[in-house]
A and B are shown apart, each in its own frame.
Chain A
Amino acid sequence: MSSDSPNVALFVTCLVDLMRPSVGFAAVKLLEDAGCAVSVPATQTCCGQPAYNAGDRADARAIARQVIEAFEGFTYVVAPSGSCAAMIKIHYPGLLADEPGWAARAEALAGRTHELTQFLSDVLEVDEIAAQYQGIVTHHDGCSGLREMGIKEQPRALLGRIGGLALRESPKAEACCGFGGTFCVKYPEISAHILDEKIDDIAATGADTVIAGDLGCLLNIAGRLKRRGLAVKARHIAEVLAGSTAAAIGEP
């Protein structure tokens, strides 16, 4: 790796770290293939969204400070998740706005943080993807990525460069999947109802695979696809772009 390759820290996200490391390795591969030097700070755990969204502001702040410390000193911070990237980029500055010393550090980190597909498309301007994929896919837009980060075209542009892949859009690609973090376990019936509409839309596209950029949405969607006995597979976009051979989510 040359000394002028972009110096990127991967924010793995807790779900990828714990549930599906193959997404993390796919992200590393994509970044390295694009010429980045990738580091993975070892003191990272979680971005703090569970606490933040539960109204536990004190813990959310403490976690934010820990993330800031772990990720200072890198040119870029990249996360394979629209919602965790939004937490760092959009919410940390507000969370730490009145903490002397930390506000500026939060702003600085926010300025360097990107979601993976956004980083590949907009910053690195990747225009070649080596992976092949035989099949029809549909893309689900995770809410935070879409509405807070403005991620819409980037994943589609990248998927469009994969040989063999056909993208079939659902008119309701932007509809929420009903995950919502702890929402899905606090109000399981409502969540399941929203999720079923999502599943019906996905099924209606005729795609064999649903792709998204957030493992939260994907675990939710895959879990219901399996429960309903549908054959549609669910995969994180990083895995598809990197040509990962890991079994699809929820498959042995």
Chain B
Amino acid sequence: MDATSSAFPENSRRALADERLQEALHRLADGFPARRREAVDRLPEFDQLRAQARAVKDHVLENLDSYLERFAAKVEEAGGHVHWCRDALEARQTVLRICRDAGARTVTKSKSMVGEEIAINEHLEAHGIEPVETDLGEYIIQLRREAPSHLIAPAIHLSKDQVTETFKAAHGEFPVGRRLDEPRAMLDEARTVLRKRFVEADVGITGANMIIAETGTAVVVTNEGNADLTMTLPKVHIAITGIEKVVPTLDDAVTVLRLLARSATGQDVTVYTTFATGPRRDDDVDGPDAFHVVLLDNGRSALMESDFRDILRCIRCGACLNHCPVYSAVGGHAYGWVYSGPMGSVLNPGLVGIEEAHHLPNASTFCGACEEVCPVGIPLPKMLRHWRERAFRARAVGATGRAGMRAWAFLALRPRLYRAVTGAVMAVLGALGRRRGRFRRLPLAGGWTVARDLAAPQGPTFISQWAQRRRERS
């Protein structure tokens, strides 16, 4: 996926003007946060779990190499294969090679953000292999050739009508005049189409919400069961995931799972939680003949050694998106790359570079709602600020903004000069604005006055009035 993060201002203007998107975002904002709240209230030990999960993740990051090696050894022991991939290119090539070796013509896929990160669908297509997304939301956006706009609700930006249109255009095998206005009907139709694809597929690709070091297991959660069909029906199962997803034990995985669904959708647990360990054993009733895990670094090791290490605790629950006023205003596509919302604004600059993504850490009010809900306590605002500091040092911020900021700081550090300059400006503005009490327009204040009036200053500054009062009193 080509990044368009540098066009964030234009992307967001388009998003704000898109009425259907705005309706969809309102539905999201009215749904997930309230359901999360209820789920959290139902679980008295939620905060304790949070601390526990955070500790697990921090411990893993301290000892990442050894846990990954342990995981790899266990996978091999169970008859599977682990592929270490430094970047997206290596991961794409690895997946393609496995698919080719399996003689694959079609592959089914369950939802994977790492799959988006390495743009695996485009790569397979370019090499004559057809990828079929099987998560309903992912399936819809694949038909529309769009990118996911949310970590856990990839088609959240679409209205029901748009899905109807998409299905009518794509599913030529069904009667033209069929009714397709209810979600149930759409689901049934998608099922009918996908059932055939599940059976045909030669390879199934899933993500992994976690990988477990002590057992060599990939954990995959869904609400639709599509990951199970993706990983058990074809001959080959490939799980692609980031290196930071490893946890030491099954118990640790359970700790994270208890937080994940509650934080994401407000469910106590997802409908399907699948633990995949190795290929099919002799006494298994089903399962793939081969099991591959593709472990992607793609900039994560570099983040390990930086101010941004904490973001590697992320479990991709989406709570920070759901509670973010900026995400809620513009949706996921405006961010211009795979990840969006607060976690994306921290992660994307690390993965595609701060030059491309410099808007993202700046497009935050620092309201702190994300950090408040993050189940693994990631200090997202602090990390956004770290990116701003890097961008400032690298002079990647706009020259005018930078000059204005430095001028303000210059004054703030010289109290006498500050008093003289600000006192004069406020006196003038105070006099000019006295009659109406506010300005509709003011030179140099265009950013403010596009949307709001500017209250006129009252006149003499507090400090000068205070000094006056002291003089009069003494």
Contacts and interface: CB of A to CB of B under 8 A. Distances in A.
B418 A45 contact: yes
A220 B452 contact: yes
A158 B350 CA distance: 46
Contacts of B458: 19-22, 246
A51 B16 contact: no
A189 B11 CA distance: 11
A190 B329 contact: yes
A227 B453 contact: yes
A21 B461 contact: yes
A252 B448 contact: no
A186 B362 contact: yes
Given A19-B457, A250-B437, A53 B326 contact: no
Contact of B461 (A18, A187, A189): A18
B96 interface: no
A56 B447 contact: no
A128 interface: no
A189 B12 contact: yes
A12 interface: yes
Contact of A144 (B9, B368, B401, B409): B368
A92 interface: no
A175 B325 contact: yes
Nearest to A248: B437
A100 B368 CA distance: 30
B44 to A, nearest CB: 21
A192 B452 contact: yes
Contacts of B462: 12, 16-18, 21, 24-25, 40
A231 interface: no
Given A44-B415, A54-B388, A180-B367, A190 B455 contact: no
A101 interface: no
Interface string A55-85: 1110110110010000000000000000000
- Interface-central residue, B330, B461, B465, by most chain A CB under 10 Å: B461
Given A20-B457, A59-B413, A193-B329, A184 B463 contact: no
A176 B369 contact: yes
**Chain A interface SS verdict (over half):** helix
Contacts of B418: 45
A180 B324 CA distance: 13
B178 interface: no
Interface string A183-227: 111111111111100000000000000000000000110111011
A148 B368 CA distance: 8
A176 B367 CA distance: 6
A18 B422 CA distance: 7
B40 to A, nearest CB: 15
Nearest to A252: B437
B84 interface: no
Interface in B390-438: 390-393, 397, 401-402, 405-406, 408-409, 411-413, 415, 418, 422, 426, 434-438
20 contacts: A12-B462, A19-B455, A19-B458, A22-B458, A45-B418, A46-B412, A50-B408, A55-B390, A55-B391, A56-B405, A56-B409, A143-B368, A143-B369, A176-B367, A181-B366, A182-B401, A183-B365, A186-B362, A190-B326, A227-B453
Given A53-B388, A175-B325, A223-B438, 13 more contacts: A21-B460, A42-B463, A45-B415, A46-B408, A48-B409, A54-B388, A63-B409, A66-B413, A147-B371, A185-B447, A186-B401, A194-B329, A223-B455
Interface of A: 12, 14, 16-22, 24-25, 40, 42-46, 48, 50-57, 59-60, 62-63, 66, 143-144, 147-148, 175-176, 178-195, 219-220, 222-224, 226-227, 246-247, 249-252
Interface of B: 9, 12-13, 16, 325-326, 328-330, 362-369, 371-372, 385, 387-393, 397, 401-402, 405-406, 408-409, 411-413, 415, 418, 422, 426, 434-438, 440, 447-448, 450-458, 460-463, 465-467
